[in-house]
Structures are given as structure tokens and as C-alpha cells.
Amino acid sequence: MATARFRFYAELNELLPRARRQRDILHEFRSPATVEDRIEAQGIPHTEVELLQVNGSPVGFAHRLQDGDRVSVYPFLAILENPLPLRPPYPRGRFVLDQHLSKLAAYLRLMGLDALHRPCFPDQELAPVAVGEDRVLLTRDKGLLMRKEIVHGGCVRATDPMAQLPEVLHRFGARELYAPFSRCLVCNGLLQSIPEEDVADRLLPSTRARYHDYWICPTCDRVLWAGPQVRRMRGWVATWLKDPDLSH
């Protein structure tokens, strides 16, 4: 057996068992082994790694480990510049989410971002969609992110959807694409403005008396107006847009 000394930095520690956090880890392995394989064997999906160094030099995921190597593993937050990028730049504003992240999908849509999500989205379909449509796969399932074909993925740490949105946009922000209230929160369709008279027969008289601006989702045919719920959501959006961490 060969042995390498691993050190995981910053928030990668959150993905390790408590006893292995913030310390050097002696890891035994059978040669030959790639650094990617040995990182995932310790519970860290490759999608969470932004910079890899072996004995102080940047390497790629396919680098073969040698006995006695010292491996430093960094997440995106911990680095300013990567001399050897591990993957192409992420597709901006394009996501696919696993079926447990329905509220996060709605909040991304609220910001105008393209967030593909279905209530029943089998795990085996998520990876091909993420790769085929060039989307960032968002999930809390580390095993799903360890699939080799996934290029861009994010392991969502927060459990509260209101905290998940800033977390995701901090890492995968796309400020130039933020267009609040431009998408249907239910189906991801792009909303279109529609004259009141065209939807009058679908509205309650009390709604028509109070509101005169309407939008329709051409995908699911829902009619929307700026009711109390929308006013509440405007407050959330204003808070998110003020967050300097999301402005990239």
C-alpha cells in the first residue's frame, strides 16, 4: 500500500467526518490511483474542488498519485486565481436541480435564471441533462455529484431555501442575467405581458378592480399579476441584489 498526506481547505471540511476536519489526513491507497479517485474516496465530490496541488504544484484530476505525495485540495471560495483550471468556466445562469430542491428552483427563477426542475426527476436523468444541456447540477446528494460525467455541479450545504439561494449565487452568480419576475416560478417559462382584456374572463371582478397589469406564462398558461405575494417577493429580491457577494 502507498500513503499520501491530504489536506482539505476552507468549506471542504464541512463535507468531511468531524474527526478529519482542519487537519492532515494520512490516506492509504493501492497504486495506480488518480487524485480525483482518492479525493472522492474520502467523501468530497470532484465538483466541489477548484484547485489541486500535489507537492506544491498544481495538477489536474487525472494526476497519478505516488507514495509520499502531499495533496492540497481547495474549494472555489479559498482561491483567487487558479493557474491550472480543473474545468471550463461554468455555464452562467443555467441550472438543473434534483427533486428535493423545489423552493431553491423557484427562487432562482424569481431572479430570472434558467432553473430546470421537475417534482419527479429521477437521479439517473439529472446527470445526462446537466451534461447535454450544459447546466450546473445542484443537489445535496454527494454521491450524485461524484458521477464522472458531471462537469459543473454544486453540493448545496444550506437546508433553508432562503439561505440556499445566496449560497448558490455566491458561487454561480450571473449578475448580468438577473431579471427578477421574468420567469414563471412554477415551470421556468418566460413570462409575457398580456392586455387585461385578453384574460378578463379568467379573472375575478375583485382582481380586475385592483390590478391592470397582467402577465401570462406561455408554457403552463398561468395568468399573473402583482398581488400581495409578489410584493413580499420584491422584498426578498431587493435583499439579494444588495448582497455584495452575489454581484459577480
Residues engaged in binding Zn ion (CB under 5 A): 184, 186-187, 189, 217, 219-220
Q: Which residue number, 35 or 101, has a Cβ lying nearer to Zn ion?
A: 101
- The cell for 128 is 445526462
Q: What's the CA gap between 174 and 183, in Å, rounded?
A: 16
Minimum distance of Zn ion from residue 229's CB (angstroms): 15
Minimum distance of Zn ion from residue 221's CB (angstroms): 7
- The cell for 84 is 491550472
Q: What's the CA gap between 114 and 105, in Å, rounded?
A: 9
Minimum distance of Zn ion from residue 218's CB (angstroms): 8
Q: What's the CA gap between 59 and 85, in Å, rounded?
A: 9
CB atoms within 10 A of CB 123: 13
State how far the alpha carbon of 167 is from the alpha carbons of 74, 76, 162, 229, 240, in Å. 17, 12, 9, 23, 11
Phi/psi of residue 152, each to 5°? -120, 120
Q: Which residue number, 187 or 237, has a Cβ lying nearer to Zn ion?
A: 187
- The cell for 21 is 476536519
Q: Which residue number, 44 or 105, has a Cβ lying nearer to Zn ion?
A: 105
Q: Which residue number, 198 or 245, has a Cβ lying nearer to Zn ion?
A: 198
Q: Which residue number, 32 or 227, has a Cβ lying nearer to Zn ion?
A: 227
Minimum distance of Zn ion from residue 157's CB (angstroms): 29
Minimum distance of Zn ion from residue 185's CB (angstroms): 8
CB atoms within 10 A of CB 61: 16
